[in-house]
Structure 1
């Protein structure tokens, strides 16, 4: 359980293992449930269209404690494919993205920040951890660069 008291549902781990082992899933987007008690799978896909994935993060909404909807955070796992240095072929790394936009309301920002480690600990096999706070942080080139350098 996270410092925030938010728990990770087993479906989150199952979806991640499908991505990691089956290689048919390209990405997973996780969210904190509307009652702020669990991290759940919002959506997963085998679609290789990074722009569609990125747009889903940018469009994410969360409700605050009073039920008001606003810009919200998300967690995502993306299986990044990139060209290895020196023409050594293609490589893949699983990247964990914590998407907490600077302009999100205070409660979602706090909950996503304090619950991140619980989900990361539950997902064994993450190669790169990316903290993203603005749209530039989740540009495809930025994600590929982070995956290829491991930083």
Structure 2
């Protein structure tokens, strides 16, 4: 078994805690949660699970802090005209304008480590304000990616 703490180290030195992948699998394969939000630990050494829930997209957005960064994955359900309902796992890099610059730097330099460890992402969104993670904005990104 590969040790994720070694394999998924960011240029910032931040590692991905194994629970991050476990919770992602709960979303991806077990479908026991609808979203997972990840954060950098207080000591800035690991990316850890902040929260996971099976509530709707509005609740996911409300869970994002106004003044700090986060990573999130959401099992986004939408309807494509003529093709029916679809699901796409969306990765969201949340870096609000109001977040401290140090936080933005740590999250930006650590993003690839978490992103590489989460296989099966269908769309990616980078957002600096809530309008960029509105349902409509994410729907536009999710529906144009066909992977």
TM-score normalised according to structure 1 size? 0.87
| Whole-angstrom distance in 2 between the partners of 1:135 and 1:58 | 10
User: What secondary structure is seen at the aligned counterpart in 2 of 1:21?
Assistant: helix
**Residues 1-151 of structure 1 mapped to structure 2, 5 A cutoff:** 1-48=9-56, 50-59=57-66, 71-86=67-82, 88-150=83-145
In the alignment, structure 2 segments of 5+ residues that lack a partner are: 1-8
- The superposition leaves residues 33-83 of structure 1 with CA deviations (integer Å, 9 ceiling, x where unpaired) of 0000000000000112x2221111144xxxxxxxxxxx2100000000000
Which whole-Å CA distance do the structure 2 matches of 1:37 and 1:78 have between them? 24
SS at match of 1:57: coil
8 Å Cα contact 1:58-1:135 kept in structure 2: no
Unaligned runs of 5+ in 1: 60-70
Poorly superposed stretches of 4+, deviation over 4 Å: none
- Distance in 1 (alpha carbons) for counterparts of 2:15 and 2:65: 24
| TM-score, normalised via structure 2 length | 0.90
Question: How far off is 1:143 after superposition?
Answer: 1.0
C-alpha deviation, 1:102, in angstroms: 1.7
The CA RMSD measured in Å over matched residues stands at 1.2
